[in-house]
């Protein structure tokens, strides 16, 4: 993901990190940002890691926690 985001930056493309679903074709499951297999704290921890990693990357401009 890092290589892709950095490459997109060289082309002037901005990126919004987004989580649609945890499983293929399950984007309209329960509508929450967590589920029975992925606890709320685990999902928040994952987003915090992504934010920490990309917070100074000029072309990452937003996150969409869950649609």
Render pLDDT for 6-36 as a digit per residue (tens, 0 to 9): 999 999 999 999 887 777 766 666 677 788 8
Domain limits for position 12: 2-64
What global pTM score does this model have?
0.78
Residues 9, 13, 18, 20: what is their CA dihedral angle, to the nearest 10 degrees?
Answer: -130
**Among candidates 8, 17, 21, which has minimal Cα distance to 50?**
17
The Cα 23–Cα 35 span in angstroms is: 11
Number of structural domains (the chain) is 1
**Can you tell me whether residue 9 is helix, strand or coil?**
helix
7-16, 24-33, 42-51, 52-61: range with lowest mean pLDDT: 24-33
Residues 8, 52, 33, 60: what is their CA dihedral angle, to the nearest 10 degrees?
Answer: -20
pLDDT exceeds 90 at position 38? no
């Amino acid at each position: 993901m890092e290589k892709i985001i950095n490459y997109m930056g060289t082309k002037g493309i901005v990126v919004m990190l987004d989580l649609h679903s945890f499983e293929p074709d399950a984007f309209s499951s329960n509508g929450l940002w967590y589920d029975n297999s992925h606890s709320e704290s685990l999902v928040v921890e994952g987003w915090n890691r992504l934010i920490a990693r990309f917070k100074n990357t000029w072309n990452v401009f937003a996150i969409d926690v869950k649609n």
